[in-house]
């Protein structure tokens, strides 16, 4: 029960601090003229501050760094009445390097996004800096393992981080969409970590979940604050790293299919990215130039409101994640049934995508 209290407290503290810092970031964005103007393909009809990423990064960074420093200080002078906490604090000390590596990499990506918000960068420069942010992960041994040997695991880690970082950046195309999908996936990752017997990882994930919930106060349609590239790239990076930190397959699992869990959990996000890149490539348009070919835009073409489209995609992301969770306990037969249900769910998504595409061309 004490862990539940800790988790609730972390979420609520992060939500409250994020709400305050995002309000400050919104005010600073307006004062300094860091605004997303209503032009071209953009749907909003007024200039909106794009400094929400500042509040997101500041909240997460302050809470995680403060938690690590506070845990170290408490461990060195633990009162007699709290001696039972000793083993747990020692466990925190064992993950200190990994946590600081995550914060360091997130800082690099945040700086990249902040620069891109102020002066748009080319895709090659952005990819190069994102690769740089993978270096502290490899140094701290936060890599994809599974059945992969070391160097291949490092390459898989770099590819996974690059894909998810940019996927969230692409998903940030509608009020509340990237934040709500990230929040839902973050909660699924909490469940996956608890399922694997982790105790501190859920607290780390809930720190980001609470941060996103605080930001969403200002980002639901009609939004008064955008996260900007500084926010979307940072959130994408953190989600990629969080999904790597969880151990999905262990000796004793009834099948090898749990290795597919992260792909299923991120399925809706990956589908949106791959479908958009496919459409742009087929139509001969630049891959990294924004347009209105996302799944969210297809739903709008079918008559969905912005909020309805946002909730629909978030619910689909949650459904994919929940269908992935039982793979850890199921044997091959039952797991294949679950994967079949997941495939059918994606069949529904494809039908919605195709119907929305016809609506756009009508």
CB 211 within 8 Å of CB 14: yes
Reference 101, options 161, 149, 56, 14; nearest CA is: 161
CB 112 within 8 Å of CB 144: no
> Long-range contact list for 284-293, CB < 8 A, 24+ apart?
288/123, 290/41, 290/173, 291/41, 292/41, 292/173, 292/360
Q: What is the pLDDT of residue 89?
A: 63
- How far apart CA 111 and CA 117 sit, in angstroms, is 10
Q: 220 φ, ψ to 5°?
A: -65, 150
Q: What is the pLDDT of residue 344?
A: 93
CB 18 within 8 Å of CB 210: yes
Tokens of 54: 């500042």
Q: What is the pLDDT of residue 329?
A: 84
Q: What is the pLDDT of residue 267?
A: 93
Q: 134 φ, ψ to 5°?
A: -80, -25
Q: Which residue has the tokens 């017997």?
A: 197
- 109: exposed, middle or buried (Cβ count in 10 Å: 0-12, 13-18, 19+): buried
Tokens of 127: 């990819």
Q: What is the dihedral of CA 2, 55, 113, 306, to 10 degrees?
A: 90
Tokens of 219: 């980002």
Reference 249, options 297, 200, 196, 288; nearest CA is: 196
- A 10 A CB-CB count for 6 gives 16
- How far apart CA 189 and CA 265 sit, in angstroms, is 8
Reference 223, options 56, 55, 58, 45; nearest CA is: 45
Q: What is the pLDDT of residue 74?
A: 61
CB 53 within 8 Å of CB 172: no
CA 198 to chain centre: 19
Distances (CA, A) of 205 to 10, 140, 262: 10, 18, 15
Reference 297, options 314, 320, 276; nearest CA is: 276
Strands 48-49, 35-36: pairing is antiparallel
Torsion sign across C-alpha atoms 274, 292, 229, 17: negative
- 48 beta partners: 36
What does the DSSP assignment read for 265-310? Answer: HTHHHHHHHHHHHHHHHHTT--TTS--S-SHHHHHHHTT--HHHHH
SS3 164: helix
Query: pLDDT tens, position by position, for the chain (362 residues)?
Result: 478 888 999 999 999 999 999 999 999 999 999 998 886 555 666 889 999 999 999 999 999 998 887 766 665 665 555 555 555 666 676 688 899 999 999 999 999 999 999 999 999 999 999 999 999 999 999 998 766 777 888 999 999 999 999 999 999 989 999 999 999 999 999 999 999 888 889 999 999 999 999 999 999 999 999 999 999 999 999 999 999 999 887 766 667 788 889 999 999 999 999 988 888 888 888 777 767 788 898 899 888 999 999 999 999 999 999 999 998 888 888 888 888 989 999 999 888 888 877 656 54
- How far apart CA 248 and CA 162 sit, in angstroms, is 21
């Amino acid at each position: 029960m004490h862990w539940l209290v800790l988790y609730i407290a972390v979420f609520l503290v992060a939500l409250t601090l994020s709400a305050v810092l995002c309000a400050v970031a919104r005010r600073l964005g307006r004062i300094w003229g860091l605004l997303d103007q209503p032009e071209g393909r953009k749907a909003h009809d007024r200039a909106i501050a794009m400094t929400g990423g500042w509040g997101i990064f500041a909240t997460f960074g302050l809470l995680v760094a403060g938690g690590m420093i506070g845990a170290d200080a408490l461990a060195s002078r633990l009162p007699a009445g709290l001696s039972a906490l000793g083993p747990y604090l020692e466990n925190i000390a064992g993950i200190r390097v990994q946590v600081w590596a995550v914060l360091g990499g997130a800082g690099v990506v945040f700086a990249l996004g902040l620069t891109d918000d102020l002066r748009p960068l080319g895709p090659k420069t952005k990819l190069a800096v994102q690769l740089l942010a993978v270096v502290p992960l490899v140094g701290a041994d936060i890599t994809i393992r599974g059945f992969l040997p070391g160097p291949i695991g490092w390459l898989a880690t770099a590819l996974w981080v690059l894909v998810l970082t940019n996927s969230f950046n692409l998903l940030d195309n509608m009020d509340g969409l990237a934040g709500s999908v990230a929040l839902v996936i973050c909660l699924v990752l909490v469940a996956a970590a608890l399922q694997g017997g982790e105790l501190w990882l859920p607290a780390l994930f809930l720190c980001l979940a609470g941060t996103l919930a605080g930001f969403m106060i200002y980002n639901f349609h009609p939004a008064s604050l955008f996260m900007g590239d500084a926010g979307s790239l940072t959130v994408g990076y953190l989600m990629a790293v969080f999904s790597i930190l969880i151990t999905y397959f262990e000796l004793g699992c009834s099948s090898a299919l749990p290795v597919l869990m992260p792909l299923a959990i991120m399925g809706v996000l990956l589908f949106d990215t791959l479908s958009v890149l496919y459409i742009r490539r087929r139509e001969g348009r630049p891959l990294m130039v924004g347009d209105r070919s996302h799944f969210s835009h297809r739903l709008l073409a079918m008559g969905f409101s912005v909020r309805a489209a946002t909730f629909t995609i978030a619910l689909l992301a949650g459904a994919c994640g929940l269908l992935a969770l039982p793979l850890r306990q199921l044997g091959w037969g039952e797991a294949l049934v679950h994967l079949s249900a997941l495939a059918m769910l994606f069949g529904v998504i494809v039908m919605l995508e195709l119907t929305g595409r016809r609506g756009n061309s009508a």
